[in-house]
Amino acid sequence: MKQLNVGILGLGTVGGGTYTVLKRNASEITRRTGVAINVVQVADRNLANAKALATDADVTDDAFAVVNNPAVDVVVELIGGYTLSRELVLKAIANKKHVVTANKALIALHGNEIFAAAKANNVIVAFEAAVAGGIPIIKALREGLGANRVEWVAGIINGTTNFILTEMREKGLNFADVLGEAQRLGYAEADPTFDVEGIDAAHKLTIMSAIAFGMPMKFEQAYTEGITKLEQVDIKYAEELGYRVKLLGITKRTDNGVELRVHPTLIPEKRLVANVNGAMNAVVVKGDAVGPTLYYGAGAGAEPTASAVVADLMDVARLIDATSAQRVPYLAFQPEQVQDLAILPIDEVQSAYYLRLRASDKPGVLADVTKILGDRSISIDAMLQKEPDENETEADIVILTHITVEKNMNAAIAAIEALEAITTKVVRIRMEELAK
């Protein structure tokens, strides 16, 4: 029987899960591939823990020993980051070894360089686990939806922020309180910046966008806005109007360029993706032939992510003797057909909007606001006007608009905030229907 020898870099949560799944499901994997996949070497800084788990493999604390080991056919990179990991992956490729990684930051920032090196050395780089954990969204975009011209992709692709927003909605808690609970439960890191500021989601969105539209990775041009400034009152008002607030990664193909943006978004509560709660992930892909399709599941965790890592190893086992022309291209399109598409600046993006104004309770305020919007061709879809609380002279006005260009909305907000009756900054949250 054919053998595929694997070296794993990092035996933490995902690495440990990968080793466990490979051992537990070895017979099933071999039945599917006709290849015995064996872990022959692992590298981890915690030698004691690694030796306790990887009892059948050579264990080292030197990651370069693995990428330079002539007995290793495939290097599985699970150490994270994008400095040492980049060096290790490029060295493995130079040594003619195939690479499987779950590292979204590495692919989003250095994927273009890595794919070029892999093509030059005729090796496979597989990265299904880099986006949405156990959800096979990369394979769906590259293969399952290959007959389609993908029009847009929108996803809940960070479990930490989805858990926080779910708790804020269901329990009426503020962001800071829920963040502390998320950290206590292990959903959020001690430093949660990458999650709550949308950076993690932007890494994943960059990868999906490149595959969906056949363009290079352009993480540095992604618009990123997190959830740290979201207030409980806006989540409550959104629900009164029939919407849920989610941190979405959105990428769309337009006549003027590609949208690449991560931000809090109002979604109609009737959409399936609006009802994805807790730490779960979901991605909606709209193809011209198939229409909207939804992919749902665990976006993180030891074995859900290991499921994707092992699936990539199985693909390598099947395709290791194939020529590059017989393999699915990294970005779904033939390398010479990858196009350097322009990314739209956020000012040029078109969206509908949720606006919350804190205004003095006196005649004429609403007329002034609607005139400002009308003067900029922004039409109103719905409105919620709250009565002032007892002994208060100010009240909230909530407005939902139809679609407009962001720069027009920016100008309107500036003019509204200049009104004497408006007492605080206008809260603005973008809205998406995700229907067509």
Q: Annotated binding residue at 47?
A: no
User: What is the tens place of the pLDDT at every residue in 196-255?
Assistant: 999 999 999 999 999 999 999 999 999 999 999 999 999 999 999 999 999 999 999 999
- DSSP string of 170-239? HH---HHHHHHHHHHHTSS-SS-HHHHTTHHHHHHHHHHHHHHHT----GGG-EE--STT--HHHHHHHH
Tell whether residue 9 is among the known ligand binding residues. Answer: yes
**Closest alpha carbon to 93 in 108, 72, 109:** 72
Q: Which pLDDT belongs to residue 199? A: 97
Q: 189 a known binding residue?
A: yes
Cα separation of 236 and 316, whole Å?
A: 48
Helix (H, G, I), strand (E, B) or coil at 21: helix
pLDDT in tens, 2-45: 999 999 999 999 999 999 999 999 999 999 999 999 999 999 99
428 or 320, which is more confident? 428
Annotated catalytic residues are: 204
β-partners of residue 408 are none
Confidence band for 392, pLDDT divided at 50, 70 and 90: confident
Identify residue 72 by its one-letter amino acid code: V
Q: Tokens standing for 122?
A: 């005729």
pLDDT of amino acid 361? 80
Give the pLDDT confidence score for residue 325 in this predicted structure: 81
Three-state helix/strand/coil letters over 75-135: EEECCCCCCHHHHHHHHHHHCCCEEEECCHHHHHHHHHHHHHHHHHHCCCEECHHHCCCCC
Q: Please report where in the chains the tokens 């490149």 appear, as a residue.
A: 210
pTM confidence score: 0.96
Pairing, β 291-298 against β 280-287: antiparallel
Domains of the chain: 2-134+302-337 (3.40.50.720), 138-296 (3.30.360.10), 348-431 (3.30.70.260)
Query: What is the tens place of the pLDDT at every residue in 367-391?
Result: 999 999 999 999 999 999 888 777 7
Q: Is 15 annotated as a binding residue?
A: yes
Question: What is the per-residue pLDDT across 54-105, written as a single tens digit (0 to 9) for each?
Answer: 999 999 999 999 999 999 999 999 999 989 999 999 999 999 999 999 999 9
Distance CA 411, CA 380 (A): 16
11 is in an annotated binding site: yes
- Annotated binding-site residue? 104: yes
Q: Give the pLDDT band of residue 323 (cuts 50, 70, 90).
A: confident
Residue 423 near residue 385 (C-beta atoms within 8 A): no
Region 385-411: what's the mean pLDDT?
90
Structure tokens at 434: 């995700």
Q: How far is CA 104 from the centre of its chain?
A: 9
